[in-house]
A = this chain, B = another copy of it.
């Protein structure tokens, strides 16, 4: 029970179902004195929003966020910040047929078994719509991390199905619907997606997220390691099935003489560690990748059962993402920002002071 709060010192408590009145969250533990307004949060919500291109779900939500508390005369007060996003475009009839059956690969079955009741409309609480609240909270964390420490958190598409997306430039990322860091491959991605949509099927994706400017020393071994918390955060995003840090699964075939990042007075010579050693940040870029499974809501018919245990065929009409990965980037950025902010606040060194390390190398 009670698995809807994330974090230890900087916490986010989330609520809301896909077709309920609203979604939102309470952010607790934001230090006082930071300038904050809706303008700091809305952009990331807009990046995540459905209906922004033909490649994502066509549900139309403005995702307008309202700040209900925790800000006074334009600054955070140190008290909880409640964020509210009203749902506007719930087309519950699109889900009527789902009420009695379970879509394969979706949480319908497990939610019903666990709770004995489920809000089936739009996937209820298991819907990715709920992630809008996380993105809103993450925007606050991103701002604070950036102002206080110069930390940035950015994500991108690394691979769409079989199509590799070689990293060219961060500048390309905001200019296409895929968060692809490579303008030249975008036409191929678009053709791929158009064909996919026609087929009624879906595909997976691999994405990356990088946090730069993180000071050395963040992370609380042995259980609340920074990498463990990042893995927890990313694996907790709907549809994620794998997470890796730095060289990740490539480590399996690496030698120690290859993998271990050597140090010099001017900095590290490589970053196979992905910015984390022994669960603590090294001061290098924190690099993570994650795998997103193909969407479970597809038009192609699939075998399933209904609540009575009888065999049925299920296919889902309506407005669904053919590749959930396309909208994942803002969510992953938000989750990593939430982890980092929590760790920034938890970090206490000698005398209980915040420690930034005594030796400056990068």
CB of A63 within 8 Å of the partner chain: no
- In the complex, which of the residues B81, B241, B346 contacts A9, with contact meaning CB atoms closer than 8 Å? B346
Known A217-B110, A242-B245, A303-B264; contact A202-B256, beta-carbon cutoff 8 A: yes
- A223: nearest residue on chain B (CB-CB)? B6
- In the complex, which of the residues B80, B241, B352 contacts A247, with contact meaning CB atoms closer than 8 Å? B241
How far, in Å, is A323 (CB) from chain B's closest CB? Answer: 9
CB of A28 within 8 Å of the partner chain: yes
How far, in Å, is A42 (CB) from chain B's closest CB? Answer: 17
Q: In whole angstroms, what is the CA distance A55 to B310 when docked?
A: 53
Give residues 142-168 of A contacting B (CB, 8 Å).
144, 148, 159, 161-162
- In the complex, which of the residues B21, B119, B232, B256 contacts A77, with contact meaning CB atoms closer than 8 Å? B119
Q: Of A46-54, A98-106, A170-178, A186-194, which binds chain B?
A: A98-106
Q: In whole angstroms, what is the CA distance A16 to B135 when docked?
A: 21
A 249-273 binary contact with B (CB < 8 Å = 1; else 0)? 1011111111111111100010011
Q: For A1, what are the chain B residues with a Cβ–Cβ distance below 8 Å?
A: 9-10, 28-29, 31, 220, 345-348
Q: In whole angstroms, what is the CA distance A23 to B84 when docked?
A: 12
- In the complex, which of the residues B8, B82, B105, B276 contacts A260, with contact meaning CB atoms closer than 8 Å? B105
Q: For A309, what are the chain B residues with a Cβ–Cβ distance below 8 Å?
A: 265, 359, 361
B251–A291 touching, CB < 8 Å: yes
A22–B348 touching, CB < 8 Å: no
CB of A132 within 8 Å of the partner chain: no
CB of A169 within 8 Å of the partner chain: no
B246–A241 touching, CB < 8 Å: yes
B358–A224 touching, CB < 8 Å: no
Q: For A72, what are the chain B residues with a Cβ–Cβ distance below 8 Å?
A: 17, 20, 117-119, 124
Further pairs besides A15-B82, A77-B118, A260-B298: 15, Cβ < 8 Å: A2-B9, A2-B224, A4-B221, A31-B351, A107-B279, A114-B349, A115-B355, A161-B252, A161-B253, A242-B251, A244-B249, A247-B293, A256-B295, A256-B296, A257-B298
19 contacts between A and B (CB under 8 A): A4-B28, A17-B79, A20-B69, A20-B72, A69-B125, A77-B125, A78-B117, A103-B260, A113-B358, A113-B359, A114-B349, A116-B355, A126-B278, A202-B255, A204-B252, A228-B231, A228-B232, A232-B235, A243-B244
Give the 3 A-B residue pairs with the shortest CB-CB distance, closest first. Answer: A107-B278, A3-B220, A105-B260
